[in-house]
Amino acid sequence: MAAKPRVKVPKSAAAGDVITIKSLISHKMESGVRKDSDGNTIPRDIINNFTAAFDGEVFFSVDIDPAVSANPYLEFPARVDKAGTFTFTWTDDAGVVITHEQDIALKS
Amino acid sequence: MHSSPHPGRRRLLGTAAAAAVVAFFGTSGRGFAAVEDVEKAIGEFGGGAEAVDGMITLTTPEIAENGNSVPVAFTVESPMTEDSYVESVMILASDNPSPEVATFHFTPQSGEAKASTRMRLAKTQDVVAVAKMSDGTLHRTSANVKVTIGGCGG
């Protein structure tokens, strides 16, 4: 699959805060309806799924269709109750999974 | 057309973008999604429940300069507790080659039922958001987005 994902997660939050997470990954998201110069359909090749987990438990996911733009951008919330580790995954049509982790601390 | 910096995700690419959108969605003669496709997708998503208006705030630009990258955001009112939360929100583009854009799945741990992304719109059309709650009820709303192709105006 593609390049390294970039994810923006606050370094810390107060218990009970709802934070905003922003994620971006480079991928051309070939929709499967385009044709090449010979008139052949260029096969579909997209990231079709994204998940966000906290300490191993998925709390948010997206089923992604070809209408999502290239270099898919996703912004979504998460309620932080304790310090821990976020794990994000992107899966493409070939079944390749890219994973990215980020820790968050609790504000004292 | 002039480009101006804009904080956030929109990129102004001018008429090259217009050509790219047409090329992107192809000239295969497949046609665009019919109303029936949208309603069928919503029916499958909602398990046949009747969708009522409201609860969803859908944010899209009135005019999208670049159909390849149109920002879309939504918020659904909900306490997001175990007893009452938003399970899923589906975004559809009623006049794209196929209507589904993305389906977002939430849990109470989300804290709020909201999300943003960027989508491809083949032409001026209605964007529809449908929300399925944990009690099975369905809400929907829509917004029209003008997609400029080949210059000014829709």
Q: Which residues of chain B have pLDDT under 70?
A: 1-31, 149-154
Q: What is the pLDDT of residue B58?
A: 98
Q: Helix, strand, coil shares of chain A as percentages rounded to 5?
A: 0, 55, 45
Return d(Cα B56, Cα B41) in angstroms, integer: 18
Q: What is the pLDDT of residue A87?
A: 98
Q: Tell whether A64 is within 8 A of chain B (Cβ).
A: yes
| Mean pLDDT, residues A16-43 taken together | 94
- Token readout for B90 is 């589906």
Q: What is the pLDDT of residue B28?
A: 42
How many residues in chain A?
A: 108
Q: What is the pLDDT of residue B18?
A: 58
Q: Which residues of A touch B28 (CB under 8 A)?
A: 33, 35, 41
Could you say which DSSP state residue B106 is in?
A: E
CB interface of B with A, residues 62-121, below 8 Å: 68-70, 73, 80, 93, 96-98, 100-112, 114-121
Cross-strand pairs, B138? B51, B132
Q: Summarize pLDDT for A57-91 with one digit per residue, the tens.
A: 999 999 999 999 999 999 999 999 999 999 999 99
Q: Summarize pLDDT for B107-139 with one digit per residue, the tens.
A: 999 999 999 999 999 999 999 999 999 999 999
Residue pair A2/A27 in contact (Cβ under 8 Å)? The answer is yes
Which residue is it, tokens 């002039």? Answer: B2
Residue (of A52, A29, A31) closest to A41 by Cα position: A31
Predicted ipTM of the assembly: 0.96
CA dihedral B36, B42, B46, B51 (to 10 degrees): -90
pTM of the model: 0.87
